[in-house]
Amino acid sequence: MTDGTAPAIAPDAAMATAISDDDGATNLSRVSGAPFARSQYNRSVFSALLKARAKVGGSKVCIIDADGRELTYDQLVQGAFALGNALKTGTKKGEKVAILLPTGAGAAIAFFALQAYGRIPAMLNFTAGPRALKAACRAAQATTVITARKFIELGNLEPLAASLGEDLKLVYLEDVRDGLGWQDKAMALAGTVAPMIVAARPDPDDTAVVLFTSGTEGDPKGVALSHINLVSNVEQAAAHVDIFETDICFNPLPTFHCFGLTGGLLLPLIVGIPAVLHPTPLQAKTIAKRVGETRSTVLFATDTFLNQYARNADKDDLKSLRFAVCGAERVKDETRALVRKMFALDILEGYGATEASPVIAVNQPGRNRSGTVGTLLPGMEAKLEPVEGIENAGRMWVRGPNVMQGYIYTSEPGVIVKPDEGWHDTGDVCSIDEDGFIAIRGRMKRFAKIGGEMVSLAVVENCATSIWPDDLHAAVTLPDPRKGEQIILLTANASADRSEFVAFTRNHGVAELSIPKKIVAVDEIPVLGTGKIDYVAVEKMAKAAIS
């Protein structure tokens, strides 16, 4: 890492370039990012942490917790070896061990404690409910869950803990801490002084973590990510976007979500800059204040959360930020205009998937194109598969060093089903322009087929947001006996009127098929713990409203 204002890892100047077909004709539906050598990421997650410590010094602060407590690299490594030595009793190398903790120092230490001794963390979504969590553990073959009594108490999760305890062994961090013996402390000291002698040495191609899909349409799927997947995605992102040694990242996103784990925790720690951690993204005013108090320069968020932070911030709270990185949902024009007007803040909209560790593409400072998610990260390839009824776009597939080992299903616990030839089907309909910028047109599942025409539900929601910018909206499809499908729009705007929507579409040249058949006002739009709209719940609400 250089001093002054030089990038920690210099961004690659190469742009996404078109790949030629066999006959030499240019095909802009298939592009690749800049070259990316395996030597840049061929290491385990824990060895990448140790490399960062050696580079910036063990006394440098790497984590700032919600209570203001600061951890240096030496303290993080020491804590990981001490906790890991205590946790390894009753488990074996290569075993999956679940973590049920909010974003914070405890989750970080637990994650690296398992890594240090060759165990594999399985990150549980504590908002998912006992049935989904038991299914997740069954898929990953995890029988032990690491959690904390304070977290269970503050989160009112006693019923969840009781249910999980019926089938799984719950290990509380407070009990482990109180029971640490001289052997654990000796291993912590030895690991801090000579970590490569004490630490496990997994093959970089081995599984490093198991994350889970939401499971809103059935049992959750496990997503097995290797050490190479995680470390490469960190290095890809750092090569794509300028990161300075003076930067401080603020992360309120959950570590059970890949954006919060890789982007908000692993990226800053492996690059060598502090990560300010916050246990929930929902405390808008507190988060805005902490951003200012910690003088954070990079914020990880979703559009919904960033909008809330800006509206709840005092004038100086967000002024230290260089930019905010937003993913998981489309960045609305209203959010972009709001933060630019109030704080002169740029949003770098990106795109990813848990299956890609997660970052696939992101805009860059000085090369930031609204309405797109930027260009591919170095080392990535993308191709578009034509979709009937959709012009100038296609279903996007991606491949690269960050693309998962494969899925793990409850029907075949522990078995990793690899993607065909390394290609992952994102399920998103995208367009790619001549400069390599990717625009998301919508999920394949988020298109309605009305009278034989394909209609994007994202367009419906965008129109609603333009008309009623202060509220959340969600569009779904229901069967229609005459046209096949009908669009129902749920909105948190109590006074929303369909005639306003009709007028807007006519004035802005939006296709008439995008007009919802019915607009239903609800108290609130249900949102998942990741910040995304819970469309399964929305569909149930729409069915109830229609019936």
93-125 pLDDT tens trace: 999 999 999 999 999 999 999 999 999 999 999
Q: What percent of the chain clears pLDDT 70, i.e. is strictly above it?
A: 91
CB within 8 Å of 42: residues ≥ 6 apart: 204, 228
Residue 257 has pLDDT above 80, yes or no: yes
Which option is the CATH number for 44-441: 3.90.850.10, 3.40.50.12780, 3.20.20.140, 1.10.150.120? 3.40.50.12780
For the record, the structure tokens of 320 come out as 């230290």
CA distance 347 to 301: 10
Would you kindly state where each structural domain of the chain is located, as residue ranges? 44-441, 451-546
Consecutive H or E run containing 480 = strand 473-480
Q: Same CATH fold, 451-546 and 44-441?
A: no
**CA proximity to 520, closest of 480, 547, 483, 482:** 547
Between 158-165 and 130-140, two packed helices, what is the crossing angle to 10 degrees? 40
451-546 belongs to which homologous superfamily? ANL, C-terminal domain (3.30.300.30)
**Which sign does the torsion angle of CA 98, 409, 281, 156 carry?**
negative
Which residue would you say has higher pLDDT here, 65 or 387? 65
CA distances from 103 to 89, 115, 125, 265, 297 (A): 25, 17, 11, 9, 19
Torsion of CA 310, 313, 314, 316, to 10 degrees: -70
Question: Is residue 225 within 8 Å of 234, Cβ to Cβ?
Answer: no
Buried b (16+ CB within 10 A) or exposed e, 92-114: eeebbbbbbbbbbbbbbbbbbbb
Residue 16 has pLDDT above 50, yes or no: no
- One-letter amino acid at 14 equals A
Taking the whole predicted model, whether its pTM rises above 0.75 is answered as yes
Q: What percent of the chain clears pLDDT 90, i.e. is strictly above it?
A: 59
- One-letter amino acid at 502 equals V
Beta strand 17-20 with 26-32 is antiparallel
Give 372's DSSP letter. S
CB within 8 Å of 37: residues ≥ 6 apart: none
For the ranges 152-156, 189-193, 314-318, the lowest mean pLDDT is seen at 189-193
For the record, the structure tokens of 433 come out as 């322009």
pLDDT score, position 308: 92
444 pLDDT band (50/70/90 cuts)? low
Mean pLDDT, rounded, of the chain: 87
Q: Using alpha carbons only, give the angle 505, 437, 381 rounded to the nearest 5 degrees.
A: 130
CA distances from 50 to 83, 234, 250, 370, 371 (A): 17, 15, 22, 38, 39
39 pLDDT band (50/70/90 cuts)? confident
- One-letter amino acid at 524 equals E
**Residues 197-235: pLDDT tens digits?**
888 899 999 999 999 986 445 678 999 999 999 999 999
Question: Is residue 102 within 8 Å of 254, Cβ to Cβ?
Answer: yes
